[in-house]
């Protein structure tokens, strides 16, 4: 099965999105199709052996839409198409205004004021109908052939009815007069409605671009070309064609095109585009650099390690793209409503017309009210309510270095009431230092060398700290076999016939070690330290005491979460003494220590059984299971690929206070969505009865179709404007 997100061209309302989705879902081989009106994309899961993207593109074109299936420079092509559409909307709008103004003025202030007035109005109306309103009629016709009705259907039916009735009364006014009906014309309604709706779409396009600007900036970070050295030759190449091992030189002021390792040179690199950190980072030989970051000072020679879709930047863009292409549960309910909304409005319009005729009103009165119902109904506001808020929220998160994996995450995060923290690398810096090294049983030089050789094979942060000890006696003559690293325990290997262990007490007991031979320190000063035991067969060789630094912001983060009413606890594989010391320093009274990875997952399940909504925050391989089990997984961006891959939210900056920002942002986004949906439903519930003339009997007021068109446009803009407030949200913990 293939999964892909593709841009959809030509959508104008939420009902359009439902139409495209319904059409694609009918194709054999399509497992699922999810169309997001807010960012104009469809997320497809399909069997390429049964259906091709070309087939799906053709299906979309049959109902007036299109899919962009070409991968080459897709971002640029989308931008070009959107600019072209925006320019086209502007031209059509200004043509509509040019001809609508005289039609409006003459109709409002010169009632049959001069001969052939209706013919003049007809001549001025035709360019608006044929040119400015063309897409409404063409799309409505294509969709009607497949039994599909959208916003275009409402606009096309309403304005075409007004125009055709006016045309009849202009060319053959006696037809209605014979039936004792007034031969009135409604040209102004048709042209002004088209003008208002075009204006609404122009403003909507501008607002939508603003909402997704942060995401667009990410796509524009990577340079178009990179100068590569291969086999002694230098030439320009697209970053997508770079392969690991390629060498390139970077001058000051140039943007890094692919991820790599510095071979030579010294410089400062602006990594704010990736981490959000405003200060440049010093880089030298052996350091990693990332695509989309800026070299500020020196000349660097870099070996490419990841290119194309494998770079950190590409993965961030993919995460954000996936996030804004998915739908939260609340949007799925809205889609179901949108699917029946337009047919329902047509039904109400017809009933309005028939009802007023039965009530004894004139044909003109019944016509005006039924047209007003068609025009004022606004599925656009309904369709924009959720996606515009999500795009704004996810885009704001990206600016803050908070990457949200999918739209449902924001809705889920807003309900979190329990936060569980990993210790090492999350609440602490993850850069431990050795405080004390004790040798036992008079080990020889070779045994001491074996201790450090054992640690050299490990990827654990504690191993790196141990290797940094002065005089670590590394040797290339010691050969390890059967090396094994067990998450939450430690490492084991054989050197010759001897079994070596380095880890915690759990590792030793699992391997049959007799704990009675251990000399456990009772020194209170050492109780807060992590201890790595090193044993050879059943003999203790060394005890290594290490400490980890608590992050400066950890205490404030926990305090803020507790003020928000959250339950907070710490989960760690570390020993009880060290865990309790860290927890006490942070004001935590719930701590679970000496946990294996599955143990952390069990703690998550335990809280969930107590009806808690759990967020897990971690950074390591041993956190991946708990991150996946939690209702919300939050990974520190400095963590492992596996941890990041298991998380719902990734904090690109290693700043723990961003957890508060992420939770505040999710709550704010869900609040905006609810406000938008309330407004969209309230508007339609109020506007449609007003347009139908239901209050005319009591107030004598009848809504003009022109005002109905203006109200519809304002409704959409209100929803978009409310969503854009997320771009200016202030966080409580902002420094």
Q: Which positions are catalytic? A: 422
Give the SS3 label for residue 506. helix
Do 669 and 211 form a contact (C-beta atoms < 8 A)?
Answer: no
Q: Using alpha carbons only, what angle is made at residue 643 by residues 453 and 727, rounded to the nearest 5 degrees?
A: 135
Q: Which segments of 632-694 are extended strands (E)?
A: 632-636, 649-651
Centroid of chain to Cα 121? 49
State the Rg of the chain over Cα: 33
Tokens 């075409």: give the residue: 160
Do 478 and 503 form a contact (C-beta atoms < 8 A)?
Answer: no
Centroid of chain to Cα 531? 42
What gap in Å lies between CA 146 and CA 398, rounded to an integer? 40
What gap in Å lies between CA 635 and CA 648, rounded to an integer? 8
Do 583 and 591 form a contact (C-beta atoms < 8 A)?
Answer: yes
DSSP letter for 427, please.
Answer: I
Tokens 């890094």: give the residue: 256
What gap in Å lies between CA 271 and CA 260, rounded to an integer? 14
Q: Is the dihedral of CA 328, 334, 340, 341 positive or negative?
A: negative
Paired residues of 30 in beta bridges: 46
DSSP string, 348-409: HHHHHHHHHHHTT--HHHHHHHHHHHHHH--HHHHHHHHHHHHHHHHHHHHHTTEEES-HHH
**C-alpha pair distances (Å), 547 with each of 400, 452, 577:** 31, 18, 12
CA contacts within 13 A on the Cβ side of 552: 2
Do 202 and 86 form a contact (C-beta atoms < 8 A)?
Answer: yes
Centroid of chain to Cα 716? 22
Do 143 and 63 form a contact (C-beta atoms < 8 A)?
Answer: yes
Tokens 């998380």: give the residue: 647
**C-alpha pair distances (Å), 114 with each of 117, 195, 364, 533, 595:** 6, 26, 23, 104, 91
CA contacts within 13 A on the Cβ side of 108: 11
What gap in Å lies between CA 735 and CA 729, rounded to an integer? 14
What gap in Å lies between CA 24 and CA 61, rounded to an integer? 11
Centroid of chain to Cα 128? 39
Closest CA to 639 of 629, 652, 626: 652
* 620 φ/ψ sector (left φ>0, alpha ψ -120 to 50, else beta): beta
DSSP string, 488-500: TTEEEEEETTEEE
DSSP letter for 550, please.
Answer: B
What gap in Å lies between CA 108 and CA 531, rounded to an integer? 88
Name 369's Cβ contacts closer than 8 Å, sequence gap at least 6. Answer: 352, 353, 356, 691, 692, 693, 696, 702, 703
The four Cα atoms 211, 214, 216, 222 give a dihedral, to 10 degrees, of 180
Provide the token pair at 365: 């009165």
What gap in Å lies between CA 501 and CA 479, rounded to an integer? 15
Do 514 and 521 form a contact (C-beta atoms < 8 A)?
Answer: no
The four Cα atoms 639, 643, 648, 653 give a dihedral, to 10 degrees, of 0
Give the SS3 label for residue 532. strand
């Amino acid at each position: 099965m293939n999964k892909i997100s593709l841009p959809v061209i030509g959508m104008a309302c939420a009902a359009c999105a439902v139409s495209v989705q319904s059409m694609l879902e009918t194709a054999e081989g399509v497992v699922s199709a999810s169309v997001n009106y807010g960012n104009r994309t469809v997320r497809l899961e399909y069997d390429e052996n049964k259906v091709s993207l070309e087939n799906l593109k053709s299906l979309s074109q049959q109902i007036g839409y299109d899919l962009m299936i070409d991968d080459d420079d897709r971002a640029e092509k989308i931008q070009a198409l959107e600019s072209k559409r925006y320019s086209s909307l502007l031209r059509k709008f200004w043509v509509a205004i040019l001809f609508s103004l005289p039609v409006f003025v003459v109709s409002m202030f010169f009632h049959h004021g001069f001969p052939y007035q209706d013919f003049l109005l007809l001549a001025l109306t035709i360019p608006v109908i044929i040119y400015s309103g063309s897409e409404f009629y063409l799309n409505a016709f294509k969709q009607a052939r497949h039994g599909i009705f959208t916003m275009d259907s409402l606009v096309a039916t309403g304005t075409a009815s007004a125009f055709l009735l006016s045309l009849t009364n202009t060319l053959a006014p006696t037809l209605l007069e014979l039936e004792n009906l007034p031969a009135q014309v409604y040209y102004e309604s048709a042209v002004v409605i088209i003008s208002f709706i075009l204006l609404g779409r122009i403003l909507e396009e501008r607002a939508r671009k603003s909402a997704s600007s942060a995401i667009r900036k990410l796509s524009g970070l990577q340079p178009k070309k990179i100068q590569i050295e291969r086999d002694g030759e230098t030439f320009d190449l697209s970053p997508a064609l770079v392969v690991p091992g390629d060498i390139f030189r970077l001058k000051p002021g140039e943007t890094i095109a692919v991820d790599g390792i510095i071979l030579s040179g010294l410089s400062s690199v602006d990594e704010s585009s990736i981490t959000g950190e405003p200060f440049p980072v010093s880089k030298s030989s052996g350091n990693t650099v990332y695509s989309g970051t800026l070299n500020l000072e020196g000349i660097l020679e870099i070996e490419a390690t990841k290119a194309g879709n494998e770079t950190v930047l590409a993965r961030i863009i993919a995460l954000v793209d996936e996030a804004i292409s998915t739908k939260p549960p609340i949007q799925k309910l809205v889609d179901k409503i949108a699917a029946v909304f337009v047919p329902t409005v047509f039904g109400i319009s017809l009933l309005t017309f028939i009802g007023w005729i039965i009530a004894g009103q004139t044909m003109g009165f019944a016509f005006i009210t039924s047209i007003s119902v068609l025009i004022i109904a606004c599925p656009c506001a309904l369709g924009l309510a959720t996606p515009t808020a999500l795009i704004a929220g996810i885009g704001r998160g990206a600016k803050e270095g908070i990457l949200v994996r999918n739209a449902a995450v924001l809705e889920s995060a807003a309900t979190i009431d329990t936060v569980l923290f990993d210790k090492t690398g999350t609440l602490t810096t993850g850069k431990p230092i050795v405080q004390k090294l004790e040798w036992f049983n008079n080990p020889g030089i070779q045994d001491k060398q074996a201790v450090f050789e054992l640690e050299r094979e490990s990827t654990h942060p504690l191993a790196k700290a141990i290797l940094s000890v002065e005089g670590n006696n590394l040797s290339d003559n010691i050969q390890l076999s059967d090396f094994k690293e067990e998450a939450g325990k430690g490492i084991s290997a054989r050197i010759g016939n001897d079994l070596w262990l380095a880890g915690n007490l759990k590792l030793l007991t699992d391997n049959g070690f007799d704990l009675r031979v251990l000399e456990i320190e009772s020194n209170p000063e050492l109780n807060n330290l992590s201890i790595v035991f090193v044993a050879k067969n059943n003999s203790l060789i060394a005890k290594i005491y290490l400490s980890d630094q608590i992050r400066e912001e950890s205490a404030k983060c926990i305090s803020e979460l507790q003020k928000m009413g959250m339950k907070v606890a710490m989960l760690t594989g570390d020993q009880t003494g060290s865990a309790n010391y860290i927890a006490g320093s942070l004001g935590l009274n719930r701590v679970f220590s000496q946990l294996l990875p599955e143990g952390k997952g069990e703690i998550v399940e335990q809280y969930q059984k107590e009806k808690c909504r759990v967020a897990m925050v971690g950074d390591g391989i041993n956190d991946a299971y708990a991150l996946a089990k939690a209702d919300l997984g939050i990974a520190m961006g400095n963590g492992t690929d596996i941890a990041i891959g298991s998380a719902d939210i990734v904090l690109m900056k290693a700043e723990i206070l961003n957890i508060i920002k992420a939770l505040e942002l999710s709550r704010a986004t869900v609040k905006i969505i609810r406000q938008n949906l309330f407004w969209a439903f309230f508007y339609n519930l109020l506007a449609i009865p007003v347009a139908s003339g239901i209050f005319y009997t009591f107030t004598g007021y009848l809504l003009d179709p022109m005002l109905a068109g203006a109200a519809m446009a304002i409704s959409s803009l209100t929803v978009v404007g409310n969503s854009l407030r997320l771009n200016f949200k202030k966080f409580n913990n902002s420094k």
